[in-house]
């Protein structure tokens, strides 16, 4: 099951088209606590929210959810969510502080330590519209059982084919962390 938090109406419609009308569970940001209740059934977790990396305290890095709520990197450690794939569709969700022996500590690290083997996240600020197009192509590939790294490549190529999105800014913001190959 896909659990999608705080996605736009356009993204929600696209995800329902890809996964089927009843398969994705779409949660508005203010209802994100519902994800905790259905955690055991979530295979792919998709959170679409603005991210902020905190250099001074990486585990306090967060994603701003609708309704004013937010989820911090440390919050993932306390959830029983163990999706095979987490997609953090927001600005700077893949940034982290390098720590010897630990890697990049931030949002993706919290998910990894909690038991999520693969995370897709962004390295820098991303454009909302091109990100939505990228994400839908990425999910289309993942739904076809394409590995995350190849799905990322396919999504990037698809976005770059659009004349107004040829610049790498529109297609290169996301990385795969963990078991993407």
- Structural tokens at position 112: 């990894």
- Contact of 48 with 4, CB cutoff 8 Å: yes
Residue 112 within any structural domain of the chain: yes
Question: What are the structure tokens assigned to 16, written together?
Answer: 């329902």
Residue 6 lies in a domain: yes
Structural domain span for residue 24: 2-129
Predicted model pTM: 0.86
75 vs 21: CA distance, rounded Å: 30
Does 164 reside within a domain? no
Report yes or no on 25 lying in a domain. Answer: yes
Start-to-end CA distance of the chain, whole Å, equals 21
32 versus 43: which is more confidently predicted?
A: 43
* Structure token digits, residue 181: 């190959």
- C-alpha dihedral (108, 167, 13, 68), degrees to nearest 10: 50
Is 174 a member of any domain?
no
Q: What's the rounded Cα separation, in Å, for the pair 70 and 50?
A: 10
* CATH number, position 18: 3.40.50
- Distance, CA of 89 to CA of 128 (rounded, Å): 9
Model pLDDT for residues 20-31, shown as the tens digit of each residue: 987 788 877 665
pLDDT in tens, 103-153: 567 788 888 888 889 999 888 878 888 888 899 999 999 999 999 999 999
Orientation angle between helical segments 9-19 and 128-143, nearest 10 degrees = 10
Domain-embedded: residue 155:
no
How far apart are alpha carbons 12 and 31 in whole angstroms?
A: 15
- How many domains is the chain built from? 1
């Amino acid at each position: 099951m896909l659990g999608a938090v705080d996605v736009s109406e356009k993204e929600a419609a696209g995800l329902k088209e890809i996964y089927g009308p009843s398969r994705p569970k779409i949660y508005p940001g203010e209802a994100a606590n519902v994800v905790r209740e259905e955690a055991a059934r979530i295979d792919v977790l998709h959170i679409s929210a603005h991210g902020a990396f905190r250099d001074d305290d990486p585990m306090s890095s967060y994603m701003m959810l609708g309704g004013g709520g937010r989820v911090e990197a440390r919050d993932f450690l306390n959830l029983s969510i163990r999706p095979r794939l987490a997609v953090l569709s927001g600005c700077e969700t893949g940034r982290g502080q390098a720590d010897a022996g630990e890697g990049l500590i931030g949002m993706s690290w919290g998910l990894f330590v909690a038991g999520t083997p693969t995370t897709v996240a962004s390295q820098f600020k991303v454009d909302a519209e091109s990100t939505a197009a990228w994400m839908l192509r990425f999910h289309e590939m993942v739904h076809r059982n394409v590995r995350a790294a190849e799905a990322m490549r396919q999504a990037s190529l698809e976005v770059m084919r659009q004349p107004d999105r040829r610049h790498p800014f529109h297609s290169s913001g996301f990385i795969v962390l963990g078991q993407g190959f």
